[in-house]
A and B are shown apart, each in its own frame.
Chain A
Amino acid sequence: MSVVDAPLRRPAPLLDALISVDHKSIARRMLGASLVFFLGGGVMALLMRTELAQPGLQVVSTESYNALFTMHGSTMIYLVITPLSLALGAYLVPLQVGSASIAGPRVALTGFWLFIFGGIVLEAGWLTVGGPGRATWIGVAPLSELQRTPGSGQDLWILGVLIATLGEWLIGMCILATALRKRAPGMTLMRMPPFTWTMIGTTLMMIFAFPVLVVLMGLLFYDRRHCCLFDGPQGPLSYQELFWFYGHPVVYVMFFPFVGAVAEVFSAFSGRRLFGYTFFVFSTALLFAALSSSVWGHHMFTTGRINARYFALMSHGIILAAGLEYFDLIGTLWRGSIRFTTALLFGVVFLLQFLVGGLSGVWVASPTLDFNASNSYVVVAHFHYTLFAGSVFGAFAAIFYWFPKWTGAFLREGLGKLQLAIMVVGTNMTFAPMFALGEDGMTRRIADYPRASGWGTLNLIATIGSYLIAAGVLVFLINLMVSLRHRRPAGPDPWEGPSLEWATSSPPPPHNFDALPPIRSFAPLMDLREGKA
């Protein structure tokens, strides 16, 4: 047994919320902040969908619509799903590798506050005279140049993205260093839990991708002030090359942690170790991450200025890694003693809905097909099936699974299943019609469409679906309040989980563990229960 001493003193709750370097406190605050930003981004989505419910401009002007889609995408990507992934990692990786703390706790705290300040700066654009950034979530040049998007809102967008991304990068590096350098005795590389491995894949991509965005935002700001960095025929292309070198890996930063979370959920609720652990590590965490870093050019097929054959080949290579991931996850459930908890059901739906996103990814990964789909609602449907129907459902699986560990109380299962049912219907009502709209020629980022186009019915269905999603989120908020007010206590290991976080109290003490069980595999608690330890 390795023993870790308890610390001597603890700050008052308010101070704790501001300056605690405990990784669990940082992660909880980050989760809370992500949820707040999620609600904000969700309201923006509802406004857009309300506008699109019928042809004509009823709710917002074209300018406001441009601001809404820019800020919705930016909020969800920079301030919700990326930090949510990192918050899960910051909370769980130290626990899963048996460490008392995160590596570089002060750096992680600095990163957290940079993320918060960045978020405030980004959203502060709403308070400016000309409104917030309106140049899409990628701040695409030359649209984002001063003469095309004047006003300080776009400047604040650039600076907010820069600050928040810098903070997220710092936290990511702390998580990576924890997994690689702060493992407990006995916790070899090939005994790390699947979730930790997916966090390694995630943070490996962050090493180089996030600094590229930080520098690019600095260059874009310089360009707005002093001109001409992204001018000329090559300028916008260079901007896109650099942006997508960050922009594609970040899609997987927002996805891998939830694959790992679902792997843990499947393992716990089927009573089985993850099937094909070694394949999972090498395919999902490492090969998948490497391929994801080499496909950024497929976002630029229609420019005709990139190496289409190479990027198409690499993009299709992802099918191999994704296939192995699916094989491992389904293999884990196969012949398991399955308990149909809310977490497991969210995990299953994640797997099914992400399949739609993945298969439509094959479409946009093929240059010839992409020329048809590019800039249409097909693309909007594709990435919402990956990031919302996939990642957000994976996030809810993670939340329902680890909530007892974070708070010592269960979320209500009945409300959870009600939320799931509403969200599944809402999600598919919202995003499935977009494939048909895109195929029919509806362009993305438009506030209005002609009545004669015949797109009204499908748009109305999508809008009703978006309100159903909002209702599902409302059920979750009610569940959160009910579960925290009328607590149903969870013990240290309520689900009979496989990995080390379940070997300590719920919530864990500040030093994480009083004692660690022997670690002889990637599922040490299952070993313990089966008498193998």
Chain B
Amino acid sequence: MRRGWRVLAGWGAGLVVLAAVQIVFHPKAIELALLGGAGVIVIAVGALALEGERRRLPPAPVDEEEAQTVAWWSVPSLVLAFGIALFVLGWEVGAWLMGIGGGFAALGLGGLVREKRAERA
């Protein structure tokens, strides 16, 4: 277990406590919601991390640890970023650019899925 979730959950709980202090000062709803909501979100991310850690297999003994390989490059990552940027820019320029951007983004996402599958295989 990596136990990284404890950092997330603990820190999120800290934010909730700081948000709760506001109650003494009769806060506005938006102020309470922003900080309290942020705390709850971080706790939720911590819960997701805990679930992720539970699902992981226990690490192999150190000297028998499997060698890790490092991915070198990823064209789809660049294509995805380009697609997102064009899509957002399309809000200003026009729907046609949003279409092109969306297409690039879909292409990039598809490529990333393919890369991930190839890596697992």
B70 touches A314 (CB 8 A): no
Binding stretch for chain B, among A106-114, A135-143, A327-335, A392-400: A106-114
B92 touches A155 (CB 8 A): yes
A181 touches B11 (CB 8 A): no
Interface size class of A (residues with CB under 8 A): 35 or more
Whole-angstrom CA separation of A207 from B69 in the bound complex: 29
A306 touches B84 (CB 8 A): no
Query: Closest approach, in angstroms, between the C-beta of A504 and any C-beta of chain B?
Result: 14
Question: What 1/0 flags go to B42-83 for Cβ under 8 Å of A?
Answer: 100100010011000001001101011111111111101110
B68 touches A511 (CB 8 A): yes
- Is B120's CB within 8 Å of the partner chain A? no
Quick one: which of B53, B91, B115 has the most chain A CB within 10 A?
B91
- Is A289's CB within 8 Å of the partner chain B? yes
- Is A16's CB within 8 Å of the partner chain B? yes
Name the interface residues of A430-488: CB closer than 8 Å to any CB of B: none
Q: If A290-B14, A290-B18 touch, does A19 touch B85 (CB 8 Å cutoff)? A: no
A185 touches B88 (CB 8 A): no
Whole-angstrom CA separation of A294 from B34 in the bound complex: 9
B31 touches A306 (CB 8 A): yes
- Is A257's CB within 8 Å of the partner chain B? no
Give A217's nearest chain B residue, CB to CB: B88
- Is A162's CB within 8 Å of the partner chain B? yes
A294 touches B92 (CB 8 A): no
Query: Closest approach, in angstroms, between the C-beta of B7 and any C-beta of chain A?
Result: 6
A189 touches B35 (CB 8 A): no
Q: If A3-B67, A307-B28 touch, does A117 touch B8 (CB 8 Å cutoff)? A: no
- Is A293's CB within 8 Å of the partner chain B? yes
Residues of chain B contacted by A185 (CB below 8 angstroms): 59, 62, 65
- Is B30's CB within 8 Å of the partner chain A? yes
Question: What 1/0 flags go to A197-214 for Cβ under 8 Å of B?
Answer: 000100010011100100
Choose from B8, B11, B35, B88 the contact partner of A163 (Cβ within 8 Å).
B88
Residues of chain A contacted by B25 (CB below 8 angstroms): 307, 309-310
A156 touches B92 (CB 8 A): yes
A11 touches B88 (CB 8 A): no
A166 touches B84 (CB 8 A): yes
Whole-angstrom CA separation of A152 from B49 in the bound complex: 42
Question: What 1/0 flags go to A1-12 for Cβ under 8 Å of B?
Answer: 111110111110
- Is B27's CB within 8 Å of the partner chain A? yes
Whole-angstrom CA separation of A516 from B77 in the bound complex: 30
B8 touches A204 (CB 8 A): yes
Q: If A22-B70, A106-B76, A180-B2 touch, does A159 touch B92 (CB 8 Å cutoff)? A: yes
Query: Closest approach, in angstroms, between the C-beta of A426 and any C-beta of chain B?
Result: 36
B-side interface residues toward A, CB under 8 Å?
2-8, 10-11, 14-15, 18-19, 21-22, 24-28, 30-31, 34-35, 37-38, 41-42, 45, 49, 52-53, 59, 62-63, 65, 67-78, 80-82, 84-85, 88-89, 91-92, 108, 112, 115
A-side interface residues toward B, CB under 8 Å?
1-5, 7-11, 15-16, 18-22, 100-101, 105-107, 109-114, 117-118, 121, 152, 155-156, 159, 162-163, 166-167, 179-181, 183, 185, 188-189, 200, 204, 207-209, 212, 221, 225, 238, 241-242, 245, 286-287, 289-291, 293-294, 296-297, 305-307, 309-310, 313-314, 510-511
A1-B62, A22-B70, A117-B82 known, 16 other contacts, Cβ within 8 Å? A1-B63, A3-B67, A19-B74, A112-B81, A117-B81, A117-B85, A162-B88, A180-B49, A185-B65, A189-B6, A238-B30, A286-B11, A286-B14, A290-B11, A305-B28, A307-B25
Instruction: Provide a sorted-by-A list of 5 A–B residue pairs whose CB atoms are within 8 angstroms.
Output: A111-B81, A163-B84, A188-B3, A212-B34, A305-B28
Closest 6 CB pairs of A and B: A180-B4, A113-B81, A117-B85, A5-B67, A208-B38, A109-B77
